[in-house]
A and B are shown apart, each in its own frame.
Chain A
Amino acid sequence: MDVWGGTAGVMRYFGVHPETANLSTASTDLVTYYGNVIPAGTTFRGNITDFGAGYIFALDIDYYTDLGGGFGPVDEQFVKDASWTRLRELSIGYGLPKSMIEKAGFTSLEFGITGRNLILWTDFEGTDPETSLTGSGKARGLEYFNNPGTRSILFNLRFGF
Chain B
Amino acid sequence: MGKIKNMLVLGLVLSLTYSCESVVADLNNDPNNLTDVPVGLMINHIVLNTASVAEADPARITAMWADQMTGSDRQYISYDNYNILSSDFDAIWADIYQSGVAQAKIAEEKALTDGNAEYAGVAQIIRAYYFGEAAALFGNVPFSEVGDFTSFPDPKYDNQLTVFSGVQELLTKGAGNVIDFKNGFGIYETSSSWKSIASALSARYHLLTGNYSAALSAAEAAAFDTPASSVNITHSTSNYSENLFWQFAVEQRDGYLTFGDSYMSKILSSDNAAYRGNSKTDETARKAYYITDDLLNTSSGAFAIDASFPLISFEEVQLIIAECAVRAGDLDKAITALNNVRAAWDARLGGGLYVDYMLTDFATGGIANTQSESQEDALLREILEEKYLSVIGLPTFYDVNRTKNFLGVSTDRTENSIAQRFIYPSSEESSNANFPGLVDLFVPTPVNE
Contact = CB atoms under 8 A, between A and B. Distances in A.
Interface of A: 13, 33-35, 62, 65-67, 71-74
Nearest to A62: B413
A35 B78 contact: no
A74 B84 CA distance: 9
A71 B78 contact: yes
B85 A73 contact: yes
B83 A72 contact: yes
A68 to B, nearest CB: 11
A73 B414 contact: no
A65 B78 CA distance: 8
18 contacts: A34-B413, A34-B414, A35-B413, A35-B414, A62-B413, A66-B77, A66-B78, A66-B81, A67-B78, A71-B74, A71-B77, A72-B78, A72-B83, A73-B78, A73-B83, A73-B84, A73-B85, A73-B88
A71 B88 CA distance: 13
B75 interface: yes
B137 to A, nearest CB: 19
Nearest to A72: B78
A17 to B, nearest CB: 16
The 9 closest A-B pairs by CB, nearest first: A71-B74, A72-B78, A34-B413, A73-B85, A73-B83, A71-B75, A66-B78, A65-B77, A66-B77
B351 to A, nearest CB: 42
Contacts of B75: 71-72
A43 B207 CA distance: 51
Contacts of B413: 34-35, 62
Contacts of A35: 413-414
- Secondary structure dominating the interface of A: loop
Contacts of A71: 74-75, 77-78
User: Which among A13, A66, A74 has the greatest number of chain B C-beta atoms within 10 A?
Assistant: A66
Nearest to A35: B414
B124 to A, nearest CB: 38
Interface in B407-441: 413-414
Contacts of A65: 77
Given A62-B413, A66-B414, A71-B75, 12 more contacts: A13-B74, A34-B413, A34-B414, A65-B77, A66-B78, A66-B81, A67-B78, A71-B77, A71-B78, A72-B78, A72-B83, A73-B83
B221 to A, nearest CB: 44
A66 B78 CA distance: 5
Contacts of A34: 413-414
Contacts of B83: 66-67, 72-74
Contacts of B414: 33-35, 66
A73 B414 CA distance: 15
Interface in B233-269: none
B75 to A, nearest CB: 5
A73 B88 CA distance: 10
Nearest to B413: A34
Nearest to B81: A66
Contacts of B78: 66-67, 71-73
A113 to B, nearest CB: 47
Interface in B74-98: 74-75, 77-78, 81, 83-85, 88
A14 to B, nearest CB: 10
Interface in B41-86: 74-75, 77-78, 81, 83-85
Nearest to A70: B74
Contacts of A33: 414
User: Which among A33, A71, A74 has the greatest number of chain B C-beta atoms within 10 A?
Assistant: A71
A126 B23 CA distance: 63
Nearest to A13: B74
A117 to B, nearest CB: 33
Contacts of B81: 66
